[in-house]
């Protein structure tokens, strides 16, 4: 029994020391939520990190980069229409308003009533132009509904942009993708952005699995620079996980972002232009769920 008592005493001391250590660690770590943006910031040992969740509610912690411009949106100025779920933003003091938009592809079907879309309050649309297949061949493919969608949207006076899903594995392929896009948008008067979309392929292998962080970053720059050189506005599509761990954001401060996040408030601490806030929106004239977006407009 004496031996057991000694064992229990030793275990108790270890547990007590561990609890004290945890208490010290907690004392050194401060977690706060920014009052305007809602981003959760953690400060530890003089360094700042931010916390966020993915769509499956997994929590991540990433370094907060000092050299990347911060998002300054104050979401107390955000309104949500209870009937449509559409979001609007109006910050008169700082001269920031918003426009409502959607993005579509062949997955929204063949029969979109663009007149109904416009009358519902939608002001802009970003249309998938095409994609590079993520298999070994890496073929470039035009979205089956691209021409029909872009004509229908533009005929109704909607500001229209396009996006292309990339699977580039070399700078040459990124240029090829940009030129493929340019070839298909030249017949149209594109006023919206031309967006470079790179994403994780879940549940399957992809030709980009071997790309490094520097590769993905470089291909963003190559694509966007090619688009800008041709006279169009470029943009990069990314979610928070992609921005935190896959792209080198410090090298992309000269580029605008279309940010995807389906939480109640966006979790991105960095500057972005468009927020894709839902993948299950309902819009008159479209018979399937559709992505909803808000485009922040700064005066001057």
Token pair recorded at residue 283: 């819009």
Match domain 75-298 to its CATH number in 2.60.40.1290, 3.30.360.10, 3.20.20.80, 3.40.50.1370: 3.20.20.80
Contact 214, 249 (CB under 8 A): no
pLDDT-based confidence at residue 289 (cuts at 50, 70, 90): very high
Q: pLDDT at position 16, please?
A: 39
Cα 199 to Cα 266: distance, rounded to the nearest angstrom: 18
Q: Using a pLDDT cut of 90, give the percent of the chain over it.
A: 83
Residue 279, CB half-sphere, CA atoms under 13 Å: how many? 9
Token pair recorded at residue 186: 């030249």
pTM, to two decimals: 0.89
Query: Which of helix, strand or coil describes residue 132?
Result: strand
Q: Over the stretch 93-117, which tens digit does the pLDDT of each residue have?
A: 999 999 999 999 999 999 999 999 9
Token pair recorded at residue 50: 């931010």
Q: DSSP E strands: which ranges in the chain?
A: 29-33, 40-44, 47-53, 59-63, 78-80, 87-89, 96-104, 124-132, 140-142, 159-165, 194-197, 234-239, 257-260, 274-281, 290-298
Structural domain boundaries of the chain? Answer: 75-298
CA angle 253, 271, 173 (to 5 degrees): 50
pLDDT-based confidence at residue 38 (cuts at 50, 70, 90): confident
pLDDT-based confidence at residue 34 (cuts at 50, 70, 90): confident
pLDDT-based confidence at residue 154 (cuts at 50, 70, 90): very high
């Amino acid at each position: 029994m004496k031996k057991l008592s000694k064992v229990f005493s030793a275990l108790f001391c270890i547990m007590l020391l561990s609890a004290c250590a945890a208490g010290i660690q907690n004392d050194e770590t401060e977690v706060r939520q920014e009052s305007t943006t809602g981003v959760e910031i953690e400060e530890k040992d003089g360094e700042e990190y931010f916390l966020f969740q993915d769509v499956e509610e997994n929590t991540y912690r990433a370094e907060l980069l000092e050299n990347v411009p911060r998002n300054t949106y104050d979401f107390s100025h955000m309104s949500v229409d209870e009937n449509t779920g559409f979001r609007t933003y109006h910050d008169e003091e700082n001269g920031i308003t918003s426009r409502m938009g959607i993005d579509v592809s062949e997955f929204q079907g063949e029969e979109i009533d663009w007149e109904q879309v416009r009358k519902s309050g939608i002001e802009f649309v970003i249309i998938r132009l095409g994609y590079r297949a993520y298999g070994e061949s890496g073929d470039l493919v035009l979205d089956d509904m691209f021409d029909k969608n872009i004509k229908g949207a533009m005929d109704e006076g909607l500001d229209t942009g396009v996006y292309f899903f990339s699977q580039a594995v070399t700078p040459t392929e990124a240029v090829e993708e940009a030129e493929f896009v340019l070839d298909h948008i030249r017949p149209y008067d594109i006023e919206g952005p031309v967006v470079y979309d790179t994403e994780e392929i879940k549940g399957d292998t992809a030709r980009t699995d071997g790309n490094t962080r520097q590769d993905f970053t470089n291909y963003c720059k190559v694509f966007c620079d090619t688009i800008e050189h041709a006279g169009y506005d470029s943009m990069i599509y990314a979610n928070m996980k992609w921005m935190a761990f896959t792209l080198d954001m410090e090298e992309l401060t000269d580029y605008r972002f279309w940010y995807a996040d389906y939480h109640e408030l966006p979790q991105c601490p960095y500057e972005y232009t468009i927020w894709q806030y839902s993948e299950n929106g309902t819009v008159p004239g479209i018979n399937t769920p559709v992505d909803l977006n808000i485009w922040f407009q700064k005066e001057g």
